[in-house]
Amino acid sequence: MSTVAARRSSVAARRDWAVGYTMVAPVVLGAVVFVVVPLVMVAWYSLHEWNVLAGTFTFVGGENYARMAADPGLRDALLASLWFSIGLVVLNISLALVLAVLLDQRLPGTTTFRTFFFSPVIVSLVAWTIVWSFLLQPEGGINGFLAQVGVAGPNWLRGEATAMIALIVVQVFKNVGLNMILFLAALQGVPEELHEAARLDGAGAWRRFRSITLPLISPTILLVSIITVVGSLEVFAQIDVLTGGGPGSSTTVLVYYLFQQAFRFNEFGYASAISVLLFVIVLALTLLQWQSRRRWVFHEV
Amino acid sequence: MHPQHTPRRTAGIAAVLGTALALTACASGGGSAVGEPETPSDPVDLRMTVWTADETQLAMFQEIADAYVAENPELVSGVTFETIPFEDYTTSLTTQLAGGNAPDLAWILESYAPEFVNSGALADLRPVLADTEGYALDDLLPASTALWEDGEGLYAYPFSNSPFAMFVNTDQISAAEQSDPAELVASDEWTYDAARDIAAATAADSGKEGLVVRDFDYQIWENLATVWGGWGATPWNEDGTQCTFTEPEMVDAMTWFHDAVFDDGAIPGPGTTADFFAGDAAMTITQISRASSLDDSFEWDVVPLPAGPAGQQNVIGQGGIGVFTAGENPDVAADFLAWFTNPENAAKLAAYFPPPRESLLTAETLAAANPKLDADQLQEVVVDGVQDSVTKPAHRNFAQLAQTVRAELDALWREDADVEAVLADTCAAAQPLLEE
C-alpha cells in the first residue's frame, strides 16, 4: 500500500520535474544561445587578431588587452563615457523625481502632463534624435527660440562641451518619462497615514519628504539608478546621428569607440577586448550599487 | 533608448561576430586568380552589393543580368542586386564579410580600394577578362585601372569614373547680377576666387547658400580633394607614407576654404544643410553622375572645376566591381563580371557611369546616354575630366585615417581657428597611421 503510494508520488514528482523543465527550457535555451555562448565567444575573440578582409584569425594571447592599456583613444573614450554617465544619471534621476513629486499632487491636468512627459519614451529613438538634430542646428529651432529672448545660441553640436550637454539633454528628455512613471508608482505606494502622523507631530513638507517619502521609495531609486547607469554606458544611436563622435573625439563614448574599432576599422579582435572591458565595468558598477543597498535602501515596505 | 541589460548588448555584438566562425575556419589568404567556371551541379544565385537605389539603374543592371542568365542557364539561375545605403556602404559590406555572408560581387569605393586590393579579399580578374572573347581588355584606360592593380593582378573593374564638376544655378546667379561661370570658363577666368565671390554675392542676394562641396558636411573631408586639386595639395605623398597636410599648398588651400566659410559667407558653415538640387544653393561641387537628380525647376549649367593657384586639376571619383574569393562561386561571379562589363554592356552602363574604356569615352557615345548634358558640356567636363585626372585620396589604412583626420580637422571649422596649428596636429595624429 505504502510502496504503491510512494511510487505514485515519485511518478508524480517526475512528471512535475518534466513539466517544470519544459516550462523553463525556452528561457534557459534562449539565455544560453543568445547570452552565454556569445559572451564566451567575445572573450575568445578578444584573444585573437582577426582580419576580416584577409580572412585571418590568429591567436595573440593578451596582446589586445596590453594594447588597451596603452591606447590614448580608449582613455578619451572612458573619460567621455564618465562625463556622459555622470551628467545623465544626475540630471535624469533628479528631474524624474521632481516631475514625479509634482505629478503626485492631486491637481487638474496631471494626466495630460504625465502623458506629455511619457510620450518620448515610446517614440522611435532614431526619429527622436533626427528631429533634435534639426533643432540643434546653428539656425535651428533652439537657437531661434534663444534669439527670441535675446540670447545668441552656440553651434551646439560643434563645440566640445555644448555637444556633450546637447547629447545628455536629448537622452534625458527621451527617457525621463519612464523613470518618472516608476517614481510615481512608488510615491503612490507611500501610506498616507504616515504623512498624516508626521504632520500631526509638526513635521514640515521637506522633513516629511526626507524622512518618510525618500526611505519608502528607496528600492525604486535603486532600480532606477541601476537601469539609468547601465543605459548611460550603452548610448549609441544618438551619438551616431548627432555628432559621429565629434567634435574631435569629445563625444566618442566607449560603445561608440567599440563600434568604430569593429565596424569601421575592422579590428574585431580589439573591439571584442573592449566589449569585455565594457562588460566588466557595467558588472562592477551594478554590483557596487547592489552591495551598497544595505546602507541606504529601506526594505520594510 | 530603452535601457537594455548589458550582457544582451554585448551578446548582440557577439552574435554578429559569432556567425563568422564558419568563415574564419575556412578562409584562406585569398588573392588567388579565378579561372574558367566549372559547371556547378545546380545553377547558382549570384548577389552583387551596390550603393545606388536608383530604380532605372537597377532595372538596367537586371536586364543585363537576365540576358546572362538566359545565355548561361546551366551556370546561373539568377542575379540579385542588393542596395546598401551609401553612408554605411563599406561598413555594411565588411560586416557581411565578417558574418561569413560575403556577396559574390560588390561595388567598392575608391577610398577603400588599396585596403581591399592589398588584403587578398578580392579575386584577380585579369586572367578571366583577358580570356573572354571580344572583351578587349586593353581598351581600359591605365589611369582608370591603376588604383585597382597590385603587381600584375587586376582586382576590380572600375565601372564608374565620374569626374567632379561644378553645377551652377544660373537662375540665382543671374538674379544676383553675377557673371555667368560658363563665360568665365571661356575667357579662362574661372578660378576658385571667382567662384567664391559669385557664391557669396548670390547667397547674399537669394538668402540661400552659396557654394556647397556636396557630401563633405564637415565630416567626409576627402571630398575636399576636389578643392585642394587647384592648389596642388594632397593629404599624403604618392606612396602614402608621409603626411602632407602641413605643406604650404595645403595650408593655403585650407586657409582659402576656411575664410570662404567664415569671412566671406560663400560656403555654408558647419551644421547647415543645403541641397543644391532642391534649389538651396547657388553652386555645388559634385560628381557628374548626379546630373540625373536635376529636374526643370531651375536653370542650371555644369562647368569644370575652377582653377586654383596651381592651375586646374580634374578629380574623379571611382567605383570598382570586385569578386570576393570568400563568396561561394568566385569563378561564376568573375564570368558574370566579364559579361556585365563587356564592350556592349559597358556602353549601356555608360548611360550613368562614365566608362573606363577609351573607345566609349567620347562625347558622341556619352551624348546618347545623357540627354541632360549637351555635347560641349560632355566634352569639356566628362571626356576631358577623366583624362589627366587624379582620384580622391585613398590609402590601405583609409578607415582609421578618415576617422583620425576628421577628428583633428574639427578644430579647423570654427571662426578663430589657427589653420597652420590645426594642420600640424593633423599630421602628428595621422603620421603613425601612414607608417603602419
In this complex, do B24 and A258 lie within 8 Å of one another by their Cβ atoms? no
Contact B407 A246 (CB under 8 A): yes
Write out the residue limits of the CATH 1.10.3720.10 domain(s) in chain A.
70-296
Query: What is the DSSP pairing of strand A48-51 with strand A56-59?
Result: antiparallel
User: Does residue A153 surpass a pLDDT of 90?
Assistant: no
Angstrom CA distances, B83 to A98, A244, B16, stand at 48, 23, 20
Please name the member of B18, B30, B400 whose beta carbon is closest to the beta carbon of A55.
Answer: B30
Strand B281-287 and strand A48-51: the pairing is unpaired
Sign of the CA dihedral running A88, A94, A100, A106:
negative
Res B30: pLDDT: 40
- Interchain CB distance below 8 Å, B1 and A34: no
What does the pLDDT read at residue A67? 93
The set of residues, in sequence order, having a beta carbon less than 8 Å from that of B433 and lying 6+ positions away, is B397, B400, B401, B404
Is the N-terminal amide bond of B343 cis, ω within 30° of 0? no
Predicted pLDDT at A235: 92
Is 50 exceeded by the pLDDT of residue A21? yes
Q: Considering only CB atoms, which chain A residues are within 8 Å of B403?
A: 245, 260, 264-265
B221: pLDDT strictly greater than 90? yes
Average pLDDT, chain B: 87
Strands (E), B203-353: 209-213, 281-287, 300-303, 315-323
Q: Does B21 touch chain A (CB under 8 A)?
A: yes
Q: What backbone torsions phi and psi does residue A105 show, to the nearest 5 degrees? A: -70, 145
Distance CA(A86)–CA(A217), nearest Å, equals: 22
Residues in chain B: 436
Closest residue, chain B, to A32 (C-alpha): B11
Using a CB-CB cut-off of 8 Å, the residues of chain A touching B5 are 230
Measured between beta carbons, the chain B residues lying within 8 angstroms of A263 are: 91, 94-95
Q: Quick: pLDDT tens for B98-149.
A: 888 999 999 999 888 998 998 889 999 999 999 998 898 989 988 888 889 9
What is the per-residue burial (b if ≥16 Cβ within 10 Å, else e) of A132-157? bbebbbbebebbeeeeeeeeebbbbb
DSSP character at residue B139: G
Cβ contacts of B269 on chain A, cutoff 8 Å = 138, 155
CATH of domain B40-162+317-390: 3.40.190.10
Residue (of B178, B243, B187) closest to B210 by Cα position: B178
The pTM for the full model equals 0.82
Report, in angstroms and rounded to the nearest whole number, the Rg of chain A calculated over CA atoms: 25
Contacts of B97 in chain A (CB under 8 A): 52-53
Measured CA to CA in angstroms, residue B263 lies from A105, B196, B268 at distances of 55, 11, 11
Please report the DSSP string for B312-370 in residue order.
---EEEEEEEEEBTTSS-HHHHHHHHHHHTSHHHHHHHTTTS--SBGGG-SHHHHHHH-
Which residue among B10, B11, B94 sits closest to A278, beta carbon to beta carbon? B10
Q: Do B271 and A138 make contact, defined as CB atoms within 8 angstroms?
A: yes
Residue B205 in grid coordinates: 542676394
Q: Distance between CA atoms of B286 and B224, rounded to whole angstroms? A: 11
Closest Cα in chain B, distance from residue A155 (Å): 8
Contact of B7 with chain A, judged by CB distance below 8 Å, is answered with yes
Q: How deeply is B112 buried, as exposed, middle or buried, from its count of CB atoms within 10 A (0-12, 13-18, 19+)?
A: buried
Locate cell 573593374: which residue? B157
B116–A41 CB contact, under 8 Å: no
The stretch B45-58 carries a mean pLDDT of 92
Of A78, A65, A72, A57, the residue nearest A266 (C-alpha): A57
Alpha-carbon distance B136 to B119, whole Å?
28
The shortest C-alpha distance from B311 to chain A (Å) reads 33
Mean pLDDT of B399-414: 92
* Among the four given CATH numbers 1.10.760.10, 3.40.50.300, 2.40.40.20, 1.10.3720.10, the one describing domain A70-296: 1.10.3720.10
- Quote the minimal CA–CA distance from A217 to chain B in Å: 21
pLDDT at position A249 over 70: yes
- Helices (DSSP H) in chain A: which residue ranges? 2-31, 37-45, 63-69, 72-103, 110-122, 125-135, 141-148, 160-188, 192-200, 205-208, 214-233, 237-242, 254-259, 268-291, 293-296
> Smallest CA–CA separation between B312 and chain A, in Å?
32
CA distance B86 to chain A (A): 14
What is the pLDDT at residue A26?
93
